[in-house]
Amino acid sequence: MDINTPVATIYGDLHEKQIERWKTQVSGLRERFGEKIEEVLFPREYPTDTPIVFVRADAICEVLEFLKNTPEFEYGYLSDLTATDEQEAPRFHVVYNLLARKTMTRIRLKVRVAEGESVPTAIGVWPAANWAEREVWDMFGVRFDGHPDLRRILMDVRWEGHPLRKDYPLRGYQFFPTPEPIDPSLLG
């Protein structure tokens, strides 16, 4: 894909105003966190619709907290928390999509995680991250440190492997003759 191709967003094409806002925000982030911001990919320089900010895994919670509570940012809505399998080292990217409702601006944070490593949980900042992190664990096998209830959320508890990993076979069927056993701790 040509990086000069404009990428359509759900709010129409990119506006100069939005680009300016992102530039000041990213420079503010770099100023505040320095080395903890690994890399920033900007729209028009890279085929993306929002800036992608790569953050070091140990700093993700403070960056999220900063973006949520600082007046110039006010990203008050965690619209998605997911992951991707990049098939190169480090293997996974955990993705945080944030939305500032006042300006309708989005920003994307990413954390690089190698296989077997874990990310600190974002529940302290975003309670909504609870189930999303369970889904990432279920589908990719990325662990979240400090998560209170890291169980599978979609697949059967007896399932082996993590189906959205690229090396999981597309037709890796696993069928169980009996219904999923109920976790006794959930019955109270």
Partner 1 sequence: MSKDGSAAYFTTRVDAVVNWARKHSLMPMPFGTSCCGIEMMATLCSDYDIARFGAEAIRFSPRQADLMIVAGIVNAKMAPVLKTVYDQMSEPKWVVSMGACASSGGIFNVYSVTQGIDTVIPVDVYVPGCPPTPESLIHAVIRLQEQIQKGETLSLRRERLARAGQLKAVT
Q: Return residues touching partner 1 (CB under 8 A).
A: 155-156, 163, 168-180
- If you count them, how many residues does the chain have? 188
Shortest distance in whole angstroms from residue 155 CB to partner 1: 7
- Distance, in Å, from the CA atom of 108 to the CA atom of 47, rounded to the nearest integer, reads 13
Of 55 and 136, CB closest to partner 1: 136
Positive or negative: CA dihedral 116, 132, 51, 88: positive
Of 80 and 156, CB closest to partner 1: 156
Helix axes 60-69, 16-33, angle to 10 degrees: 130
The DSSP element (H or E) to which 31 belongs, if any, is helix 16-33
Of 146 and 172, CB closest to partner 1: 172
Contact 119, 113 (CB under 8 A): yes
Shortest distance in whole angstroms from residue 37 CB to partner 1: 37
Shortest distance in whole angstroms from residue 177 CB to partner 1: 6
Of 116 and 169, CB closest to partner 1: 169
- The residue behind tokens 């056993």 is 181
Shortest distance in whole angstroms from residue 169 CB to partner 1: 7
